[in-house]
A = this chain, B = another copy of it.
Amino acid sequence: MASQYRYQELENWLLRGISEHRWRLGERLPSIRTLCIEQNLSKATVQHALQRLEAQGLVEARPKTGYFVTLPPTHVKKSLNVGQVEAPRPVTVSDLFLDIMKRSAAFDLLPDLSPGRLPPGIVSLNRSIGRALRRQQGEHHQYYDAPAGVPRFLEQLASSYAKRGWAARPEQLCVTSGCQHALFLALMACCHRNDVVAVESPGFYGALQLLEQLGLRVVEVPSSIETGMNIDALEEALKRWKIKACIVSPAYATPGGALMPINAKKRLIELAERHDFAVIEDDIYADTALNGTPDPLKGMDPNERVILCSSFSKSVSRDLRLGWVSGGRWHDRIVHLKLVTQLATSRYLQEGVAEYMADGSLGSHLRRQRNELRINRDCLIASLQTWPCETRISSPQGGLAIWVELPEYVNTLSAYLPALDNGIVITPGPLFSTSDQFRNCLRISYAHPWNSARLGALAKLRGLLL
Protein backbone atom coordinates (compact mmCIF):
# COMPACT_ATOMS: atom_id res chain seq x y z
CA MET A 1 0.00 0.00 0.00
CA ALA A 2 1.13 3.57 -0.61
CA SER A 3 2.90 5.30 2.27
CA GLN A 4 0.72 7.75 4.12
CA TYR A 5 0.59 11.50 3.84
CA ARG A 6 0.85 13.47 7.08
CA TYR A 7 -2.84 14.47 6.97
CA GLN A 8 -3.69 10.81 6.70
CA GLU A 9 -1.63 9.97 9.75
CA LEU A 10 -3.47 12.63 11.72
CA GLU A 11 -6.83 11.51 10.35
CA ASN A 12 -6.15 7.92 11.39
CA TRP A 13 -4.97 9.02 14.80
CA LEU A 14 -8.19 11.00 15.31
CA LEU A 15 -10.28 8.10 14.02
CA ARG A 16 -8.59 5.73 16.45
CA GLY A 17 -9.25 8.23 19.23
CA ILE A 18 -12.94 8.38 18.37
CA SER A 19 -13.31 4.61 18.10
CA GLU A 20 -11.45 4.13 21.38
CA HIS A 21 -13.64 6.76 23.08
CA ARG A 22 -10.86 9.22 23.76
CA TRP A 23 -13.44 11.70 22.42
CA ARG A 24 -17.06 10.59 22.83
CA LEU A 25 -20.19 11.50 20.91
CA GLY A 26 -20.90 15.23 21.31
CA GLU A 27 -17.44 16.01 22.72
CA ARG A 28 -15.08 18.55 21.21
CA LEU A 29 -11.87 17.47 19.49
CA PRO A 30 -8.61 19.28 20.39
CA SER A 31 -8.40 22.70 18.72
CA ILE A 32 -6.56 23.20 15.47
CA ARG A 33 -3.87 25.15 17.34
CA THR A 34 -3.38 22.35 19.87
CA LEU A 35 -3.16 19.74 17.15
CA CYS A 36 -0.58 21.82 15.23
CA ILE A 37 1.64 22.09 18.30
CA GLU A 38 1.22 18.60 19.73
CA GLN A 39 1.53 16.78 16.40
CA ASN A 40 4.06 19.19 14.91
CA LEU A 41 1.93 19.81 11.78
CA SER A 42 1.02 22.83 9.68
CA LYS A 43 -2.39 24.44 10.08
CA ALA A 44 -3.31 23.42 6.49
CA THR A 45 -2.55 19.76 7.21
CA VAL A 46 -4.63 19.76 10.39
CA GLN A 47 -7.54 21.51 8.65
CA HIS A 48 -7.37 19.06 5.76
CA ALA A 49 -7.61 16.07 8.11
CA LEU A 50 -10.52 17.62 10.05
CA GLN A 51 -12.42 18.48 6.86
CA ARG A 52 -12.04 14.90 5.70
CA LEU A 53 -13.51 13.60 8.97
CA GLU A 54 -16.33 16.11 8.52
CA ALA A 55 -16.96 14.86 4.98
CA GLN A 56 -17.41 11.37 6.41
CA GLY A 57 -20.07 12.68 8.80
CA LEU A 58 -17.94 11.75 11.83
CA VAL A 59 -17.33 15.25 13.16
CA GLU A 60 -19.14 18.54 12.77
CA ALA A 61 -17.64 22.02 12.57
CA ARG A 62 -19.37 24.61 14.77
CA PRO A 63 -18.43 28.19 13.88
CA LYS A 64 -15.82 29.70 16.25
CA THR A 65 -16.13 26.73 18.60
CA GLY A 66 -14.35 23.79 16.99
CA TYR A 67 -14.96 20.27 15.73
CA PHE A 68 -17.36 17.96 17.60
CA VAL A 69 -17.80 14.22 17.39
CA THR A 70 -21.19 13.72 15.79
CA LEU A 71 -23.67 11.19 14.45
CA PRO A 72 -24.73 11.04 10.83
CA PRO A 73 -26.98 14.01 9.93
CA THR A 74 -30.02 14.24 12.18
CA HIS A 75 -32.67 15.49 9.78
CA VAL A 76 -32.85 12.15 7.97
CA LYS A 77 -36.15 10.94 9.35
CA LYS A 78 -35.50 7.20 9.44
CA SER A 79 -33.17 4.68 7.91
CA LEU A 80 -34.71 2.50 5.19
CA ASN A 81 -35.17 -1.19 5.96
CA VAL A 82 -32.65 -3.75 4.85
CA GLY A 83 -34.54 -6.57 3.16
CA GLN A 84 -33.66 -10.09 2.19
CA VAL A 85 -31.03 -10.74 -0.50
CA GLU A 86 -32.61 -12.49 -3.49
CA ALA A 87 -30.87 -15.12 -5.61
CA PRO A 88 -28.91 -14.08 -8.74
CA ARG A 89 -31.06 -13.54 -11.81
CA PRO A 90 -30.74 -12.18 -15.33
CA VAL A 91 -31.53 -8.50 -15.73
CA THR A 92 -34.38 -7.06 -17.77
CA VAL A 93 -34.64 -3.32 -17.57
CA SER A 94 -37.81 -1.43 -18.38
CA ASP A 95 -38.17 0.85 -21.38
CA LEU A 96 -38.78 3.68 -18.95
CA PHE A 97 -35.04 4.24 -18.59
CA LEU A 98 -34.68 4.64 -22.34
CA ASP A 99 -37.56 7.09 -22.41
CA ILE A 100 -36.08 9.20 -19.64
CA MET A 101 -32.66 9.13 -21.27
CA LYS A 102 -34.08 10.14 -24.62
CA ARG A 103 -35.39 13.21 -22.83
CA SER A 104 -31.79 13.86 -21.68
CA ALA A 105 -33.42 14.53 -18.39
CA ALA A 106 -32.56 12.09 -15.65
CA PHE A 107 -31.32 14.98 -13.51
CA ASP A 108 -33.92 17.64 -14.13
CA LEU A 109 -37.53 17.71 -13.06
CA LEU A 110 -38.25 20.34 -15.67
CA PRO A 111 -35.79 20.01 -18.56
CA ASP A 112 -34.82 23.45 -19.77
CA LEU A 113 -32.69 23.90 -22.86
CA SER A 114 -33.57 27.57 -23.23
CA PRO A 115 -30.69 29.99 -23.78
CA GLY A 116 -29.17 31.88 -20.89
CA ARG A 117 -25.84 32.68 -19.27
CA LEU A 118 -23.35 29.85 -19.18
CA PRO A 119 -21.75 29.35 -15.73
CA PRO A 120 -18.27 30.95 -15.55
CA GLY A 121 -16.66 27.56 -14.89
CA ILE A 122 -18.01 26.25 -18.19
CA VAL A 123 -17.01 29.39 -20.07
CA SER A 124 -13.43 28.87 -18.94
CA LEU A 125 -13.60 25.15 -19.72
CA ASN A 126 -14.73 25.91 -23.27
CA ARG A 127 -11.95 28.49 -23.62
CA SER A 128 -9.37 25.92 -22.56
CA ILE A 129 -10.66 23.45 -25.15
CA GLY A 130 -10.73 26.20 -27.79
CA ARG A 131 -7.10 27.07 -27.02
CA ALA A 132 -6.12 23.41 -27.33
CA LEU A 133 -7.76 23.33 -30.78
CA ARG A 134 -5.86 26.45 -31.84
CA ARG A 135 -2.59 24.94 -30.61
CA GLN A 136 -2.99 21.89 -32.88
CA GLN A 137 -0.15 21.81 -35.38
CA GLY A 138 1.39 20.00 -38.29
CA GLU A 139 0.01 16.53 -38.88
CA HIS A 140 -1.26 15.92 -35.34
CA HIS A 141 -4.82 15.36 -36.54
CA GLN A 142 -3.57 12.47 -38.68
CA TYR A 143 -2.59 10.33 -35.70
CA TYR A 144 -4.75 8.47 -33.24
CA ASP A 145 -3.90 9.20 -29.64
CA ALA A 146 -2.36 6.37 -27.59
CA PRO A 147 -5.26 4.27 -26.25
CA ALA A 148 -4.62 5.13 -22.58
CA GLY A 149 -4.65 8.86 -23.27
CA VAL A 150 -2.54 12.02 -23.20
CA PRO A 151 0.16 11.83 -20.49
CA ARG A 152 -0.36 15.42 -19.37
CA PHE A 153 -4.05 14.79 -18.75
CA LEU A 154 -3.39 11.51 -16.93
CA GLU A 155 -0.84 13.33 -14.74
CA GLN A 156 -3.45 15.89 -13.74
CA LEU A 157 -5.89 13.13 -12.83
CA ALA A 158 -3.23 11.27 -10.86
CA SER A 159 -2.28 14.35 -8.87
CA SER A 160 -5.90 15.05 -7.99
CA TYR A 161 -6.15 11.51 -6.56
CA ALA A 162 -2.95 12.02 -4.59
CA LYS A 163 -4.86 14.71 -2.65
CA ARG A 164 -7.48 12.08 -1.82
CA GLY A 165 -5.22 9.48 -0.28
CA TRP A 166 -4.49 7.45 -3.39
CA ALA A 167 -0.94 7.87 -4.69
CA ALA A 168 -1.92 7.19 -8.30
CA ARG A 169 0.60 7.01 -11.11
CA PRO A 170 -0.46 8.28 -14.58
CA GLU A 171 0.17 4.85 -16.12
CA GLN A 172 -2.49 3.36 -13.82
CA LEU A 173 -5.15 5.43 -15.61
CA CYS A 174 -6.88 5.14 -18.98
CA VAL A 175 -9.15 7.78 -20.49
CA THR A 176 -12.66 6.77 -21.62
CA SER A 177 -15.79 8.32 -23.16
CA GLY A 178 -17.37 8.90 -19.76
CA CYS A 179 -17.99 6.88 -16.60
CA GLN A 180 -20.63 4.62 -18.15
CA HIS A 181 -18.05 3.65 -20.78
CA ALA A 182 -15.51 3.01 -18.00
CA LEU A 183 -18.01 0.75 -16.16
CA PHE A 184 -18.68 -1.10 -19.42
CA LEU A 185 -14.98 -1.74 -20.04
CA ALA A 186 -14.51 -2.79 -16.41
CA LEU A 187 -17.32 -5.37 -16.57
CA MET A 188 -16.14 -6.64 -19.95
CA ALA A 189 -12.65 -7.10 -18.54
CA CYS A 190 -13.43 -8.93 -15.30
CA CYS A 191 -16.63 -10.90 -16.04
CA HIS A 192 -17.90 -13.50 -18.47
CA ARG A 193 -21.48 -14.14 -19.60
CA ASN A 194 -23.69 -15.49 -16.78
CA ASP A 195 -21.30 -14.38 -14.04
CA VAL A 196 -22.91 -12.88 -10.94
CA VAL A 197 -22.40 -9.21 -10.09
CA ALA A 198 -23.45 -7.61 -6.79
CA VAL A 199 -24.90 -4.10 -6.90
CA GLU A 200 -26.39 -1.62 -4.42
CA SER A 201 -30.16 -1.71 -4.08
CA PRO A 202 -31.50 0.87 -4.62
CA GLY A 203 -28.62 1.67 -6.96
CA PHE A 204 -27.53 3.11 -10.28
CA TYR A 205 -29.83 2.03 -13.15
CA GLY A 206 -27.01 2.41 -15.69
CA ALA A 207 -25.17 -0.49 -14.02
CA LEU A 208 -28.29 -2.67 -14.33
CA GLN A 209 -28.50 -1.82 -18.03
CA LEU A 210 -24.89 -2.89 -18.55
CA LEU A 211 -25.49 -6.20 -16.78
CA GLU A 212 -28.48 -6.82 -19.04
CA GLN A 213 -26.54 -6.14 -22.24
CA LEU A 214 -23.53 -8.22 -21.16
CA GLY A 215 -25.70 -11.18 -20.12
CA LEU A 216 -24.55 -10.99 -16.48
CA ARG A 217 -26.71 -11.95 -13.51
CA VAL A 218 -27.37 -9.59 -10.65
CA VAL A 219 -27.50 -9.90 -6.88
CA GLU A 220 -29.05 -6.80 -5.37
CA VAL A 221 -27.50 -6.07 -1.99
CA PRO A 222 -29.72 -3.95 0.29
CA SER A 223 -28.17 -0.54 0.74
CA SER A 224 -28.78 2.13 3.29
CA ILE A 225 -29.57 5.56 2.03
CA GLU A 226 -27.02 7.01 4.50
CA THR A 227 -24.16 4.51 4.54
CA GLY A 228 -24.46 2.61 1.28
CA MET A 229 -24.13 -1.11 0.70
CA ASN A 230 -24.93 -3.28 3.68
CA ILE A 231 -21.71 -5.26 4.07
CA ASP A 232 -23.36 -7.87 6.33
CA ALA A 233 -25.85 -8.59 3.55
CA LEU A 234 -23.02 -8.78 1.00
CA GLU A 235 -21.18 -11.22 3.24
CA GLU A 236 -24.29 -13.40 3.47
CA ALA A 237 -24.66 -13.34 -0.33
CA LEU A 238 -21.00 -14.32 -0.75
CA LYS A 239 -21.58 -17.41 1.37
CA ARG A 240 -24.34 -18.53 -0.96
CA TRP A 241 -23.17 -17.55 -4.44
CA LYS A 242 -19.94 -17.07 -6.37
CA ILE A 243 -19.85 -13.33 -6.97
CA LYS A 244 -17.42 -12.18 -9.65
CA ALA A 245 -17.63 -8.42 -9.19
CA CYS A 246 -19.28 -5.90 -6.90
CA ILE A 247 -20.22 -2.41 -8.15
CA VAL A 248 -20.29 0.22 -5.42
CA SER A 249 -20.36 4.01 -5.18
CA PRO A 250 -18.70 4.70 -1.83
CA ALA A 251 -18.91 8.47 -2.37
CA TYR A 252 -22.51 9.71 -2.51
CA ALA A 253 -24.16 6.76 -4.22
CA THR A 254 -27.17 7.49 -6.34
CA PRO A 255 -30.13 7.63 -5.63
CA GLY A 256 -29.81 9.02 -2.09
CA GLY A 257 -26.23 10.25 -1.75
CA ALA A 258 -25.05 7.56 0.70
CA LEU A 259 -21.49 7.85 2.02
CA MET A 260 -19.81 4.55 2.88
CA PRO A 261 -18.03 4.72 6.27
CA ILE A 262 -14.34 3.85 6.38
CA ASN A 263 -14.96 0.64 8.29
CA ALA A 264 -17.42 -0.60 5.69
CA LYS A 265 -14.86 0.16 2.99
CA LYS A 266 -12.22 -1.83 4.87
CA ARG A 267 -14.59 -4.77 5.27
CA LEU A 268 -15.46 -4.65 1.58
CA ILE A 269 -11.80 -4.85 0.60
CA GLU A 270 -11.29 -7.73 3.05
CA LEU A 271 -14.24 -9.59 1.56
CA ALA A 272 -12.92 -9.03 -1.96
CA GLU A 273 -9.62 -10.59 -0.88
CA ARG A 274 -11.24 -13.52 0.85
CA HIS A 275 -13.81 -14.30 -1.85
CA ASP A 276 -11.69 -13.24 -4.85
CA PHE A 277 -13.92 -10.73 -6.60
CA ALA A 278 -13.39 -7.41 -8.36
CA VAL A 279 -14.62 -4.20 -6.74
CA ILE A 280 -15.83 -1.74 -9.36
CA GLU A 281 -15.82 1.66 -7.70
CA ASP A 282 -18.05 4.28 -9.28
CA ASP A 283 -16.43 7.51 -8.06
CA ILE A 284 -18.37 9.90 -10.30
CA TYR A 285 -20.04 11.87 -7.49
CA ALA A 286 -16.91 12.45 -5.38
CA ASP A 287 -16.39 16.02 -6.61
CA THR A 288 -19.95 17.00 -5.70
CA ALA A 289 -18.98 16.70 -2.00
CA LEU A 290 -20.33 19.58 0.06
CA ASN A 291 -17.84 19.20 2.94
CA GLY A 292 -14.55 17.84 1.63
CA THR A 293 -14.06 15.02 -0.82
CA PRO A 294 -13.89 11.48 0.62
CA ASP A 295 -11.02 9.17 -0.28
CA PRO A 296 -11.58 6.56 -2.96
CA LEU A 297 -11.61 2.86 -2.10
CA LYS A 298 -8.88 2.58 -4.70
CA GLY A 299 -6.45 4.13 -2.19
CA MET A 300 -6.89 1.20 0.21
CA ASP A 301 -6.47 -1.56 -2.36
CA PRO A 302 -3.29 -3.54 -1.56
CA ASN A 303 -3.77 -6.24 -4.22
CA GLU A 304 -5.13 -4.29 -7.17
CA ARG A 305 -8.68 -5.60 -6.89
CA VAL A 306 -10.41 -2.24 -7.21
CA ILE A 307 -11.34 -0.85 -10.64
CA LEU A 308 -12.03 2.86 -10.23
CA CYS A 309 -14.40 4.48 -12.77
CA SER A 310 -15.23 8.15 -13.03
CA SER A 311 -15.81 11.15 -15.29
CA PHE A 312 -16.50 14.89 -15.37
CA SER A 313 -20.20 14.45 -16.20
CA LYS A 314 -21.51 15.11 -12.71
CA SER A 315 -18.95 17.67 -11.58
CA VAL A 316 -18.29 19.73 -14.71
CA SER A 317 -20.20 18.95 -17.92
CA ARG A 318 -22.21 16.06 -19.31
CA ASP A 319 -21.31 17.20 -22.82
CA LEU A 320 -17.56 16.62 -22.40
CA ARG A 321 -17.90 12.82 -22.64
CA LEU A 322 -14.58 12.43 -20.87
CA GLY A 323 -14.05 9.80 -18.21
CA TRP A 324 -11.35 7.49 -16.93
CA VAL A 325 -10.71 4.10 -15.44
CA SER A 326 -7.97 2.61 -13.29
CA GLY A 327 -8.27 -1.12 -13.71
CA GLY A 328 -5.95 -2.63 -11.10
CA ARG A 329 -4.98 -6.17 -12.12
CA TRP A 330 -7.33 -5.88 -15.13
CA HIS A 331 -5.87 -2.62 -16.37
CA ASP A 332 -3.97 -3.92 -19.40
CA ARG A 333 -7.03 -5.81 -20.56
CA ILE A 334 -9.18 -2.69 -20.14
CA VAL A 335 -6.79 -0.55 -22.19
CA HIS A 336 -6.76 -3.25 -24.86
CA LEU A 337 -10.58 -3.36 -24.91
CA LYS A 338 -10.70 0.43 -25.18
CA LEU A 339 -8.33 0.28 -28.15
CA VAL A 340 -10.21 -2.49 -29.92
CA THR A 341 -13.67 -1.00 -29.43
CA GLN A 342 -12.91 2.63 -30.19
CA LEU A 343 -9.20 3.13 -30.83
CA ALA A 344 -8.61 6.43 -29.06
CA THR A 345 -9.95 9.61 -27.44
CA SER A 346 -9.57 13.14 -28.82
CA ARG A 347 -6.18 14.57 -27.94
CA TYR A 348 -7.31 18.21 -28.20
CA LEU A 349 -10.05 17.54 -25.64
CA GLN A 350 -7.70 15.93 -23.12
CA GLU A 351 -5.17 18.72 -23.58
CA GLY A 352 -7.82 21.39 -23.08
CA VAL A 353 -9.12 19.76 -19.91
CA ALA A 354 -5.58 19.17 -18.61
CA GLU A 355 -4.95 22.92 -18.87
CA TYR A 356 -8.29 23.62 -17.17
CA MET A 357 -7.18 21.42 -14.28
CA ALA A 358 -3.60 22.69 -14.13
CA ASP A 359 -4.42 26.42 -14.06
CA GLY A 360 -6.84 26.06 -11.15
CA SER A 361 -10.01 26.67 -13.18
CA LEU A 362 -11.45 23.29 -12.25
CA GLY A 363 -10.89 23.99 -8.55
CA SER A 364 -12.60 27.39 -8.81
CA HIS A 365 -15.50 25.85 -10.66
CA LEU A 366 -15.94 23.11 -8.06
CA ARG A 367 -15.87 25.67 -5.21
CA ARG A 368 -18.54 27.83 -6.86
CA GLN A 369 -20.60 24.78 -7.73
CA ARG A 370 -20.40 23.46 -4.18
CA ASN A 371 -22.03 26.63 -2.87
CA GLU A 372 -24.75 26.41 -5.49
CA LEU A 373 -25.38 22.74 -4.80
CA ARG A 374 -25.65 23.40 -1.08
CA ILE A 375 -28.27 26.09 -1.71
CA ASN A 376 -30.14 23.80 -4.13
CA ARG A 377 -30.06 20.90 -1.71
CA ASP A 378 -31.22 22.95 1.26
CA CYS A 379 -34.02 24.48 -0.77
CA LEU A 380 -35.20 21.02 -1.86
CA ILE A 381 -35.03 19.70 1.72
CA ALA A 382 -37.03 22.70 2.96
CA SER A 383 -39.68 22.08 0.29
CA LEU A 384 -39.90 18.38 1.03
CA GLN A 385 -40.24 19.01 4.76
CA THR A 386 -43.64 20.54 4.03
CA TRP A 387 -44.78 17.19 2.50
CA PRO A 388 -46.86 14.79 4.67
CA CYS A 389 -45.07 13.63 7.80
CA GLU A 390 -44.81 10.00 6.60
CA THR A 391 -42.42 11.26 3.89
CA ARG A 392 -38.82 10.26 4.61
CA ILE A 393 -35.95 11.93 2.81
CA SER A 394 -32.21 11.44 2.58
CA SER A 395 -29.91 14.26 3.54
CA PRO A 396 -26.85 13.80 1.39
CA GLN A 397 -23.50 15.53 1.94
CA GLY A 398 -22.78 15.10 -1.78
CA GLY A 399 -24.22 13.72 -4.98
CA LEU A 400 -26.95 15.48 -6.89
CA ALA A 401 -30.18 14.00 -5.59
CA ILE A 402 -32.42 13.28 -2.64
CA TRP A 403 -34.21 9.97 -2.21
CA VAL A 404 -37.81 10.43 -1.17
CA GLU A 405 -39.77 7.62 0.45
CA LEU A 406 -43.50 8.33 0.33
CA PRO A 407 -46.38 6.63 2.13
CA GLU A 408 -46.84 2.97 1.14
CA TYR A 409 -49.95 3.61 -0.95
CA VAL A 410 -48.13 5.92 -3.39
CA ASN A 411 -47.08 4.49 -6.79
CA THR A 412 -44.44 6.76 -8.33
CA LEU A 413 -44.33 4.68 -11.52
CA SER A 414 -47.95 5.38 -12.33
CA ALA A 415 -47.27 9.10 -11.83
CA TYR A 416 -44.66 9.08 -14.63
CA LEU A 417 -46.99 9.74 -17.56
CA PRO A 418 -49.29 12.23 -15.78
CA ALA A 419 -46.17 14.14 -14.72
CA LEU A 420 -44.87 14.07 -18.29
CA ASP A 421 -48.15 15.61 -19.47
CA ASN A 422 -47.14 18.57 -17.32
CA GLY A 423 -43.63 18.68 -18.79
CA ILE A 424 -42.22 17.12 -15.61
CA VAL A 425 -39.74 14.23 -15.88
CA ILE A 426 -39.43 12.08 -12.74
CA THR A 427 -37.19 9.13 -11.91
CA PRO A 428 -39.45 6.67 -10.05
CA GLY A 429 -38.03 4.32 -7.42
CA PRO A 430 -38.44 1.06 -9.39
CA LEU A 431 -35.81 2.31 -11.88
CA PHE A 432 -33.17 1.75 -9.20
CA SER A 433 -33.75 -1.99 -8.86
CA THR A 434 -34.80 -5.00 -10.95
CA SER A 435 -36.99 -6.51 -8.26
CA ASP A 436 -40.12 -4.37 -8.27
CA GLN A 437 -39.15 -2.58 -5.07
CA PHE A 438 -39.28 1.10 -4.18
CA ARG A 439 -42.66 1.78 -5.84
CA ASN A 440 -43.34 4.45 -3.22
CA CYS A 441 -39.93 6.05 -3.73
CA LEU A 442 -38.58 8.73 -6.01
CA ARG A 443 -35.23 10.36 -6.72
CA ILE A 444 -35.38 14.14 -6.98
CA SER A 445 -32.28 15.93 -8.23
CA TYR A 446 -30.96 19.22 -6.92
CA ALA A 447 -28.48 19.67 -9.77
CA HIS A 448 -30.41 22.67 -11.09
CA PRO A 449 -31.39 25.91 -9.34
CA TRP A 450 -34.89 26.02 -7.84
CA ASN A 451 -36.29 28.84 -9.92
CA SER A 452 -40.01 29.50 -9.72
CA ALA A 453 -40.73 27.17 -12.66
CA ARG A 454 -39.02 24.22 -10.96
CA LEU A 455 -40.62 25.02 -7.59
CA GLY A 456 -43.96 25.08 -9.39
CA ALA A 457 -43.15 21.69 -10.93
CA LEU A 458 -42.30 20.32 -7.48
CA ALA A 459 -45.64 21.53 -6.08
CA LYS A 460 -47.45 20.07 -9.08
CA LEU A 461 -45.63 16.77 -8.58
CA ARG A 462 -46.67 16.65 -4.93
CA GLY A 463 -50.27 17.03 -6.06
CA LEU A 464 -49.88 14.19 -8.57
CA LEU A 465 -48.29 11.83 -6.07
CA LEU A 466 -50.18 12.45 -2.85
Contact = CB atoms under 8 A, between A and B. Distances in A.
Interface of A: 98, 101-102, 104-108, 111-118, 122, 126, 129-130, 133-134, 136-147, 177-178, 180-181, 184, 188, 193, 206, 209-210, 212-213, 313, 316-321, 336-337, 339-348, 447-448
A134 B129 CA distance: 10
Nearest to A138: B116
24 contacts: A101-B343, A104-B143, A104-B145, A104-B344, A105-B143, A106-B144, A108-B142, A111-B143, A113-B138, A116-B138, A118-B140, A118-B141, A122-B136, A141-B317, A178-B344, A180-B340, A180-B343, A184-B341, A206-B343, A209-B340, A213-B337, A213-B341, A319-B346, A319-B348
A116 B105 CA distance: 43
Nearest to A193: B193
A277 B448 CA distance: 48
Contacts of A188: 213
A145 to B, nearest CB: 7
Given A193-B193, A321-B346, 18 more contacts: A98-B336, A104-B146, A104-B344, A108-B139, A108-B142, A114-B138, A116-B139, A122-B141, A126-B133, A129-B133, A144-B313, A180-B340, A180-B341, A180-B342, A209-B340, A319-B348, A321-B342, A321-B345
A248 B371 CA distance: 54
Contacts of A111: 143
Contact of A142 (B114, B142, B209, B318): B318
Contacts of A143: 104-105, 108, 111, 113, 318-319
Contacts of A113: 138-140, 143
A112 B126 contact: no
Nearest to A95: B336
| A105, A141, A147, A337 interface centre (most CB from chain B within 10 Å) | A141
Given A108-B142, A142-B448, A319 B343 contact: no
A104 B134 CA distance: 21
Contacts of A209: 340
Contacts of A112: 138-139
B342 A177 contact: yes
Nearest to A332: B98
A346 B318 CA distance: 8
Given A181-B342, A337-B213, A115 B137 contact: yes
- 9 shortest interchain CB distances as A-B pairs: A116-B138, A141-B317, A126-B133, A181-B342, A104-B143, A115-B137, A130-B130, A209-B340, A184-B341
